[in-house]
């Protein structure tokens, strides 16, 4: 039984609201008294995932699930997908446009950073369909 289950839609290329879902999730977990260390790691990974939905997908959602011993975060989108996941995971690789770089993103650090902050990280992608990332953050 999960304590909390919540979905947050994320629109493609909307830089005005980009990050709002992550900010909301962070506030929510803080209010529920989740361990600050877990919140810190999750907030970073969540924000990276949200920005990826904004800059790389055609739209998607973040799904949050709080359980007694972990927090699970799933990012799922409809979009171009990732042809070479190993390459996409390597730090410095980015297909982001100059416009996105002007916004301060597109250093090619996001996926690796998500994997580093999560206790469990899984990514699946189908070219032409979309990408799904599942991250689990253990509560000790």
Partner 1 sequence: MKLKQIMQLLSARPLTDVVDEELEISCACASDMMSDVLAFPKEHMILLTGLVNHQVMRTCDMLDIRAVCFTRGKLPTAEALEMANEDGISVIATDLTMFIASGKLYAGGMNNGTIG
Ligand X SMILES: Nc1ncnc2c1ncn2[C@@H]1O[C@H](COP(=O)(O)OP(=O)(O)OP(=O)(O)O)[C@@H](O)[C@H]1O
Q: Which residues here bind ligand X, judged by CB under 6 A?
A: 48, 52, 56-57, 77, 79-82, 88, 93-96, 105-111, 131
94 phi, psi to nearest 5 deg: -150, 140
Closest distance of CB 5 from Mg ion, Å = 25
42 and 67 Cβ atoms separated by less than 8 Å: no
Q: Determine the Cα–Cα distance for residues 113 and 92; give it in Å rounded to an integer.
A: 11
For the sheet with 4-10, list strands across it.
Answer: 4-10, 60-66, 70-78, 130-138, 120-126
Note whether 105 binds partner 1 by CB under 8 A.
yes
Q: Which positions from 64 to 93 touch partner 1 by CB under 8 A, shown as an x/- string?
A: ---------------------------x--
The residues binding Mg ion (CB under 5 A) are 52, 110
Closest distance of CB 56 from Mg ion, Å = 7
Complex with Mg ion: residue 96 or 139, whichever CB lies closer: 96
Would you list the DSSP string of 30-59?
HHTT--HHHHHHHHHHHHHHHHHHHHHSS-
Q: Residue 8: name its binding partner from partner 1, Mg ion, ligand X, none (Cβ under 5 to 8 Å by kind).
A: none
Round the CA-based radius of gyration of the chain to a whole number and report it: 14
Residues that bind partner 1 (CB under 8 A): 15-16, 18-19, 22-23, 26, 40, 43-44, 46-48, 51, 91, 101, 103-110, 112-113
């Amino acid at each position: 039984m999960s304590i909390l289950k919540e979905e947050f839609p994320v629109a493609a290329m909307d830089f005005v609201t980009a990050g709002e879902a992550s900010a909301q999730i962070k506030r929510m977990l803080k209010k529920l008294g989740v361990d600050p260390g877990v919140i810190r790691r999750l907030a970073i990974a969540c924000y990276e995932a949200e920005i990826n939905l904004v800059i790389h997908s055609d739209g998607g959602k973040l799904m949050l699930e709080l359980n007694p011993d972990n927090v699970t975060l799933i990012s799922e989108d409809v979009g171009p997908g990732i042809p070479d996941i190993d390459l996409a995971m390597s730090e410095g690789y980015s297909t982001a446009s100059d416009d996105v770089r002007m916004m301060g993103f597109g250093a090619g650090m996001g996926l690796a950073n998500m994997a580093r902050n999560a206790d469990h990280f899984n990514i699946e992608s189908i070219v032409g369909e979309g990408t799904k990332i599942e991250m689990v953050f253990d509560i000790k």
